[in-house]
Amino acid sequence: MKTKFGGFMKKINHKILMPIIFCLVMIAVYFLNRENKEEPVKRELKFNERVEEKEMKEEVEGLDINLASADELKEAGISKTVAEKIVEYRDITGTITDFSELRRVKGIGEKSLEKIKKVLTLDEENIGQKNKININEATEEELLFFGFTKKELQNIEKWKNLKGDIFSNIDLIRIVGERRYEKLKNDIKY
């Protein structure tokens, strides 16, 4: 057989070439089989590591925000101050129905909220009754926990200074507007 190699014609002896090709193929098969034998072990190790990591996360992730104590929240990686504020918020409002409510808690921004969502759960079975807040007796912080804005708090304060207590839903509508009243009405008592 003649082949063109580098511009020159050379004769290749089949008796020499065939054993060389056979040896190269056998070497390739050997290395491929060796990699395949080791690969399942590697895959199994990686799978086991992922399972262990997932189980460790589940131990913490299984912690329900409506049931956790401040100490349990701290163990889950939440700072002491924020953990105590979450428990205080939950005690005042009665329950947490959605993670987004936690934005009302001073010290919880978007990044903190994302971290909390990763390490805690919100099981519907553990969502209790929301407390109603007496708008005339509540502190500013408590009203903030129930979703009032700072502007609304200023308007409530002005109302109380001029007219006294808020006696009805009509008074509250005059203070915060009908649209906001619709969002707040189920949490308020007079």
Query: Digits of tens for pLDDT over the chain (190 positions)?
Result: 555 555 444 566 667 778 888 888 888 888 787 755 555 545 555 554 554 444 444 454 579 999 999 999 999 999 999 999 999 999 999 999 999 999 999 889 999 999 999 999 999 999 999 999 999 999 999 999 999 999 999 999 999 999 999 999 999 999 999 999 999 999 999 9
Within the chain, strands assigned E span: 2-5, 8-11, 133-134, 188-189
User: Two tokens at 160?
Assistant: 């109380």
Residue 8 DSSP symbol: E
Q: What is the pLDDT, as a whole number, of residue 4?
A: 54
Please classify residue 54 by burial: count the beta carbons closer than 10 Å to its beta carbon, then call 0-12 exposed, 13-18 middle and 19+ buried.
Answer: exposed
| Burial zone of 153 (CB within 10 Å; 0-12 exposed, 13-18 middle, 19+ buried) | middle
pLDDT of 62: 79
CA–CA separation, 163 and 65 (whole Å): 40
